Amino acid sequence: MSDVLNEVLAANQAYSSTFGDKGKLAMPPARRFAILTCMDARLDPAKFAGLAEGDAHVIRNAGGRASDDAIRSLVISHKLLGTNEWFVIHHTNCGMEYFTNDVMRGLLAKSLETAELSADGWKDVGQGPGSRAGDYIEWLTIANQQESVRSDVERIKSHPLVPKDIPVYGYIYDVTSGSLIEVK
């Protein structure tokens, strides 16, 4: 077993030993809202949004982007589980700002191993083979944080499966201060 696997299993054993009444939490989120945010490990939505288990849905992906799958999750969150307010929260210093679709596609075409970021940009250091399957994916990279938040909020609000009365708020989380900054 790897060290990481052992650490995760030990942490889960400690957590489950004091689980208590959490097994009785209702399926719908108690505070009736959802957050779409980035998968970046520096973001802890429970802490920056004051959440306890069972409070809200948290949907995470690379960049916190309003992809088809994220919108699918938000629609399920509302239609079946009653959320009625949504937050789109991107963040400063996001990895999605450091490459383009073409860069990602080129890296994947050369190798499927982990690339390195150098002063000249991303560099593939792995051995092939790669794959051209990445050519058919929209990687939803970010050129401007405020514009990406505005674009994602608008995409969600204008989606035909999203009721017009659901407020969708846009914010940027500052990774240096922990503050949420509203995007108008």
**88-124: burial string, b at 16+ Cβ within 10 Å, e else:** bbbbeebebeebeeeebbbbbbbbbeebeeeeeebeb
**Which pLDDT score, from 0 to 100, does residue 10 have?**
95
| Same domain for 124 and 149 | no
Distances (CA, A) of 148 to 128, 129, 180: 33, 33, 16
Query: What pLDDT shows up at residue 1?
Result: 75
Mind listing the pLDDT tens digit of every residue in the chain (184 residues)? 789 999 999 999 999 999 999 998 889 999 999 999 999 999 999 999 999 999 999 999 999 999 999 999 999 999 999 999 999 999 999 999 999 999 999 999 999 999 999 888 899 998 889 999 999 999 999 999 999 999 999 999 999 999 999 999 999 999 999 999 999 9
Domain assignment of residue 19, yes or no = no
Judgement on whether residues 159 and 175 belong to the same structural domain of the protein: yes
Alpha helices in 59-167 (DSSP H): 68-79, 101-110, 145-157
Range of the domain at 114: 100-138
The answer to pTM > 0.75 is yes
Together in a domain, 77 and 36: yes
Residue 121: per-residue pLDDT: 87
Helix or strand run (H / E) with residue 5: helix 3-17
Amino acid type, 112: L
The number of folded domains in the chain is 2
CATH number at 91 reads 3.40.1050.10
Smallest CA-to-CA distance from 176 within 51, 50, 91, 63 is with 91
Is residue 4 classed exposed, middle or buried when 0-12, 13-18 and 19+ CB atoms within 10 A define those classes?
Answer: exposed
Q: Is 148 inside a domain boundary?
A: yes
- Predicted local confidence at residue 37, as pLDDT: 98
Residue 62 lies in a domain: yes
- Claim to verify: residue 104 and residue 37 sit in the same structural domain: no
Residue 10 lies in a domain: no
What pLDDT, on a 0 to 100 scale, did the predictor assign at position 55?
Answer: 98
